[in-house]
Amino acid sequence: MMESIDDYSRFTQSTLKELEGYVMPEGRPIVDDCSNEMRKTRYRIRDYRDIYDISENAFFDGQHNRRVDVRSSLREIENAAANDIQKYEIEVT
């Protein structure tokens, strides 16, 4: 469902860009505002999708073409922090 909403948002954003040449100067602020809102919507959709994937432990790193096990990654970070705290005698309050 989120993919469909993102697709519709992308289409709307590209349509607004195509129409920019036909907009009268008075309407320019409205078109710019709509374009910005569509951009924000697309970022929110991607954030939601990433958070959902992380919560389901199904996060996919497209750049490196691999699945990321978030839970084990967080455990590694926790262990590294605990080791540093002990090694450097850091006082945790």
- Residue 52 domain-assigned (yes or no): yes
Sign of CA dihedral 12, 13, 14, 17: positive
Overall domain count for the chain: 2
CA distances from residue 73 to 18, 68, 77, 82 in whole angstroms, order as listed: 43, 8, 6, 14
Q: If you ran DSSP here, which 8-state letter would residue 22 be given?
A: G
Q: Which domain holds residue 11?
A: 2-56
- Residue 61 domain-assigned (yes or no): no
pLDDT digits (tens, 9 = 90+) for 9-19: 888 888 888 88
Q: If you ran DSSP here, which 8-state letter would residue 62 be given?
A: T
pTM over 0.85: no
pLDDT digits (tens, 9 = 90+) for 35-64: 888 889 888 988 888 788 777 877 676 777
Query: Are 28 and 49 within one domain?
Result: yes
